[in-house]
Each structure stands twice: as C-alpha cells, then as structure tokens.
Amino acid sequence: MRRRAFIAGLGGALIHPMCASAARAQRPMPVIGFLSTDATVTSDVLGFFREGLASAGYTEGRNVAIEFRSAEGQYQKLPSILSELVGRKVAVLVVGGAVTGALAAKEAATTVPTVFLIGGDPVRWGLVASFARPGVNITGVTISVSELIPKRVELLRELVPNAALGLLTNPNNPNTELEVKKLTEIAQTDGWKLKVVNVTKEQELEDAFNEIAMSGVGGVAFGSDALFANWRQQLASLALRYKLPAILSSRQFALDGGLLAYGPRVDEVFRMVGVYTARILDGAKPADIPVWAPTTFDLIVNLKTAKTIGLTVPPSILARADEVME
C-alpha cells in the first residue's frame, strides 16, 4: 500500500556514467572511506548506498573500493578513526549519523572531499555556508529533524488527544536542546504535559520506560539521535510491554512491533548519498553541490500492535498512511 516511489532516474539526472567511463579507466581505483558514527548503518542501507554508486557506473571491487568504519556511538573515537581514513588517502569521505561526526570530519579531513548524512540543519551547525552553495569541501544529505519531531508528536496527539506525552532524548546530541525547547513550547501553547527523560546508553532504556509510564503519559516519542534507531527493537518491545503507543522514524520500527513510523525513506536517502559520492569521484567539487533534503515522508501504521495495546487508530491517520501493517 505504499503510495510513493523513489523518483526514477534521480541519480541518472545528476551523473552521466558513459561520459565518465573513459576517464575512470585511466586512473587508479579510488577508495571511499565510509564512517558511521553509530551502529545504525547496516548491510541493508549500505546496499542502498552501493545502488546509488552503481547508478553512476561505480561498482565496489571493480572500479571503486569502500573502507567502512563505525564509532558505534562512542564519539570520542571519531578523531582517531578519521585520522586513519585520511591516512589511507581516501578519495571521498562519507560520514553518516550524528552531526558530531560531520563536524569532526570537517575539522579533520580538510583536504578530503566529504559527503555527510545527518539529521539537522547543516547551516545552523556551521557545516556549510548555505544549502544551495555549501562553499566548503563538504556537502551531503540532511533530514530536517526539527520539523519531524513535532510532526510525530502531532500524530501521537491524534491517537491520545487528552494525554501527556513522553520524550526520550540523548542529552549528548547537539540537536536535543532545540528539539526539547520546540516541543516544550508546543506543549505549553496547546495545554498538554511533556515528560522528558534522558538516555545515553541501552542499559538505561528499561528504567526510562518505567519512569515515563509511572508519570502517566499516554504515548512516547524519541529524539532524533541515531542511537534510538539502533535500539528500535528494544524500544518497540518496551512500548508493547508498557502498552504505550510509540513513534520512531524508520519503517523497520513498525516491522519490529512499534505502532507508528514517520520519516524519510531510508533507501532513497542512502541512494542519494551514493549519487553524491559518485559525483565527487567524477570530479565535482562539494562546494558547488547543493545539500539535498528529502521532501516526502512515509507514515507506517502497525494495526496488530494497536490491537495488542487496546488502541483504535482513527480514520484520519489511516487515510494518510502510506502503509498499514495488519
């Protein structure tokens, strides 16, 4: 029941593989350094990244190599990992996950063209001069988390209109302060209560859910930190146990038993990261490549979960859903 499809020919409109093939044959195989700030970059999403590269004529092992590294959420490791990749003389550096990783890459890899995938405004964080013309040796793909978090809360409010809501956040994420401020203002304006609980590691999830459940909230959302996407199975399981409607960004959360998912399509986003990487391999400068942001988002509803927690999903949400799991 998915209503939207990835725009056909998007990568092809940006790159012309046949025009670049002769030039590629004359140079050594380039190496892409791919750094994930956490453990959310799975083999599936790396597959979408490779598809983006392939749409521009790059195939791993044939005319491009990929060196993958992960900081696994330990941001203090970023400088040493970046130093290693720069020392490998990678042709392009790709950094996916927290804004912290992209900022570290901009500082450490000044001579290496860099493509980021982050949640948040890259202009606000000083990564680029503007969306249209980054003006520096870095560009990439961004997801506007400051707009998506309130939208997810709005969906929860449709489900439980008279209830307080819980928000789990990672205080170490640079986006958290803005997200909490925005939601607090919305709650005060609309007259409902927001319970914020900080979580920095997986072992704290049980206590966090117990705290928000004891506070009497009627639903729970999560901050934009990539750690929550990594913990999606645990979050879905805890939400079911406490019978709380919950919403996260990825479709996989709904597949794992979460009630709602609302966010960009992971395949589309990672393919675009691959497309941008290929453009740079073909000689384009990051300074001249506009930062790309998705403009369509999927709403997924798990009706089996709704039945399990004793909740009726209103027709207003079902009518807007891109996918309903029954």
Q: For residues 143 and 315, give the distance between their C-alpha atoms in angstroms, rounded to a whole number.
A: 28
Amino acid 21: pLDDT: 53
Q: What is the pLDDT along the chain (326 residues), one digit of tens a residue?
A: 444 443 333 444 444 545 555 454 556 899 999 999 876 677 778 999 999 999 999 999 999 999 999 988 788 899 999 999 999 999 999 999 888 899 999 999 899 999 999 988 999 989 999 999 999 999 999 988 778 999 999 999 999 999 999 999 999 888 899 899 999 999 999 999 999 999 999 999 999 999 999 999 999 999 988 788 889 999 999 999 999 999 999 898 999 999 999 999 989 999 999 999 999 999 999 999 999 999 889 999 999 999 999 999 999 999 999 999 99
Rounded Cα–Cα distance for residues 229 and 162 (Å): 27
Give dist(CA 269, CA 249) in Å, integer.
13
* pLDDT of res. 60: 96
Q: What's residue 10's pLDDT?
A: 42
Task: Report the DSSP pairing between strands 246-248 and 65-70.
Answer: unpaired
Joined tokens for residue 233: 């199975």
Amino acid sitting at position 17: P
Angle 281-28-91 (CA atoms, 0-180°, nearest 5)? 35
pLDDT score of 40: 64
> All domains of the chain, ordered by start, with CATH?
10-144+265-288 (3.40.50.2300), 145-263+298-325 (3.40.50.2300)
Type of residue numbered 129: A
- Residue 127: what residue type? L
CA atoms within 13 A on the CB side of 217: 27
Residues 6+ apart with CB under 8 A from 87: none
pLDDT at residue number 5: 41
CA angle, 80 as apex, 79 and 85 as ends, to 5°? Answer: 100
SS (H, E, C) the chain: CCCCCCCCCHHHHHCCHHHHHHHHHCCCCCEEEEEECCCCCCHHHHHHHHHHHHCCCCCECCCEEEEEEECCCCHHHHHHHHHHHHHCCCCEEEEECCHHHHHHHHHHCCCCCEEEEEECCCCCCCCCCCCCCCCCCEEEEEECHHHHHHHHHHHHHHHCCCCCEEEEECCCCCCHHHHHHHHHHHHHHHCCCEEEEECCCHHHHHHHHHHHHHCCCCEEEECCCHHHHHCHHHHHHHHHHCCCCEEECCHHHHHCCCCEEEECCHHHHHHHHHHHHHHHHCCCCHHHCCCECCCCCEEEEEHHHHHHCCCCCCHHHHCCCCEEEC
289, 67 contact by CB (below 8 A): no
The predicted structure's pLDDT at residue 173:
83
Dump pLDDT digits (tens) for 253-311: 999 999 999 999 989 999 999 999 999 999 999 999 999 999 889 999 999 999 999 99
Spatial distance between the Cα atoms of 160 and 193, rounded to a whole number of angstroms: 12
For tokens 């900080």, the residue is 198
Say what the pLDDT of residue 224 is: 85
Look at residue 3 in the predicted model and tell me its pLDDT: 43
Contact present, 125 and 157 (Cβ < 8 Å): no
CA 36, CA 98: separation in Å to the nearest integer? 9
Confidence (pLDDT) at 283:
97
pTM: 0.83
